[in-house]
Amino acid sequence: MDPLSLLRVVLDTTEDAARALIGRERIRLAVTGLSRAGKTVFLTSLIANLLAAGRGARTLPALSDAAGGRIRRVFVVPADTETVPRFDPDAHLGALAADPPRWPERTEDFSTLSLAIDVERRTSLGGLLPERRVTLDLIDYPGEWLLDLPMLRQGHAAWSAETLARLRRGTRAAAAADFLAFIDSLPPEAPAEDVLAKRGFTLYRDALRACRDTHGLRFLQPGRFLNPGPRGEAPLLWFFPLPDSVRGGLADLCARRYAAYLDDQRANFLDPFFSRFHRQVVLVDVLGALHAGQEAFTDTAEALAAVAAIISGANWLERLLGAAPSRVAFAATKADHVPTRARDSLAALVEHITLGARGRAEASGATVSCHAVAAIRCTEDAVARLEGQAVAAVRGVLLQEGVGATIYPGEVPMKPPEPAFWDAGLFSMPEFRPPRLDRHGASGMPHLGLDALLAWLVADLL
C-alpha cells in the first residue's frame, strides 16, 4: 500500500469510527462481477426492494427478520457535489416496467448511489434510543473493466506473453486469426508509427469482441477495449500484446501506452472505487458459462480467480485498518432459469467455480458464503415432458418471441462437469422477459434469494 493510499485508509477509518459513535454508520458494499453477470439489474432490485421494505412492504423477509424487524425507513440520499454520474434506478425500473418490458442497457460508465436506512435501537431493558442511520454506498460500472485489475501487477512484456499464449489456444485462435497474422508478420524493429499501432489495436479489439460475443469468453483484457466508456477510443488505447521478438519502436510505444493506461485505470477506477469497502458480493453468470460450453466455463473460473487476487488480497495492515471486506458472498445469478430442485446444485456449482477466488478471500481474513439468486424472478416452476417422462422445468415469457413457454433447461451439475456433459449438449439457456412491474416500484420486485443474500451480507450491521 503506497503512502497516499495508506493515508486515505486511515482518514476513512477515523471517519467511520466517528460516524459510529453518533449512530451514523456507513457501509460500502462492492457489487462486482464480470460482464453480463447482472450487476445493474441486481442493484436496481436491491434498491427497489429496500425502499419498499422501508415503507413496510415485506419484500426482503430474511433481511427484515435478521434485523429484528427494526428497519423503519429507507430513502435515497440526495445528491451533493459528486463528480461521478448518479445511478438511476428510476430509469432502469422504467425500462423493466415498459410495454413490452425490456432489460436495462449495458452499463457504459461508473455511477454511484447511497441509501439511508433508519434502524430502531432498543436497550436491554426494553426502552428505545434515538434511531441509528446506516448509509449504504453502492456503485455500478462496466463489468469488462474488472479484468483490468489483474493487469496492475504485470508489465507489458509479461502481460503480452500470457495473453498471446491464451490467444493461440482453442476458440480464441480462430477468433483472433487476423490479429495473430498481423503480429506474426511484424519485423523485429517495427517502427513506432500510429498507423501500425492503431491497426494492431483495431484487430485485437475485434478479436476480443468475437471472443465475448460469439464464444462467451470472459477473460478478456483490457476492459476498455470492449467498453471504452464515455471518453471513447482515445489514442491511449492504441496498444496490444506483442511477441518478445518485436523489440523496436512499436514495442516501446505499446509498453508506454500500456503503463499509461494502467495509471489511468488506477487513478479513475481502482483507487476511488476498489481501495476500500466493508462488504462484497461477486456475481457469477454460471448458467451462461454452462450454456457457452466447456471452454467458456473454464475461462470464467480463471477470470474470477485472477480478479479475486486483486479485490480480495488484503495484507495484514489493510485488514487491520478495515481496508478489506470482512464478508464476501459469491452469488450465481439467474437462478430463476432453473427449477427449484436445481438451485441447490447451482449454489454448489458456484462454490466449485469460485474455489480459487474463495480461497484468496478467506486467506485475507474474510468470511465467505455462496448463494444462488435471481435479482428479478421471471419464471415459475412447471413440469415438462422429455421422452415421455415428466421433468422439472420453468415457465416464462421468451424475450424475443413474446410468448409463454415451458422450458426444460437441462440438469445443473453440482461440480464442474465431466467431458460427457459437454458431449451431450443438454443444457439450454433461454432469455426471458422481465415480469410486469410497477413503474414506481412501490411493491418492490419479485426475486429469488436476494433477501437471504443481503441478510448474510449486512444484517449484522443493522
Per DSSP, the three-state class of 338 is coil
pLDDT score of 274: 65
Q: Sign of the C-alpha dihedral, residues 225, 227, 229, 232?
A: positive
First to last CA, the chain: 30
The answer for residues whose C-beta is within 8 angstroms of residue 65's C-beta and 6 or more apart is 455
Distance between CA atoms of 19 and 15, rounded to whole angstroms? 6
Closest of 186, 174, 390, 417 to residue 287, by C-alpha: 417
pLDDT score of 311: 63
Beta strand extents in 309-409 (DSSP E only): 327-332, 367-372, 380-386, 389-397, 404-407
Give the count of alpha carbons within 13 A of 436, CB side only: 2
Give the count of alpha carbons within 13 A of 37, CB side only: 31
Distance between CA atoms of 311 and 144, rounded to whole angstroms? 15
Neighbours of 80 (CB within 10 A): 6
* pTM across the whole model: 0.87
Q: Which residue has the cell 454448489?
A: 348
Cell of 170: 482453442
Distance between CA atoms of 234 and 227, rounded to whole angstroms? 12
Cis before residue 228, ω within 30 degrees of 0? no
Closest of 262, 67, 290 to residue 152, by C-alpha: 262
pLDDT along the chain (462 residues), means of 10: 49 49 74 88 95 94 92 92 85 89 85 92 64 90 87 94 96 96 96 95 97 93 90 89 94 97 86 75 90 90 81 46 72 94 92 80 82 95 89 92 90 88 77 87 90 94 85
Q: In what order do the strands lie in the sheet with 404-407?
A: 380-386, 389-397, 404-407
pLDDT score of 260: 96
Cite the residue boundaries of each domain of the chain with CATH code 3.40.50.
3-103+108-141+276-377+437-461
**Is CATH 3.90.320 what the domain over 3-103+108-141+276-377+437-461 is classified as, yes or no?**
no
Distance between CA atoms of 375 and 97, rounded to whole angstroms? 15
Per DSSP, the three-state class of 103 is coil
Distance between CA atoms of 189 and 247, rounded to whole angstroms? 6
pLDDT score of 21: 44
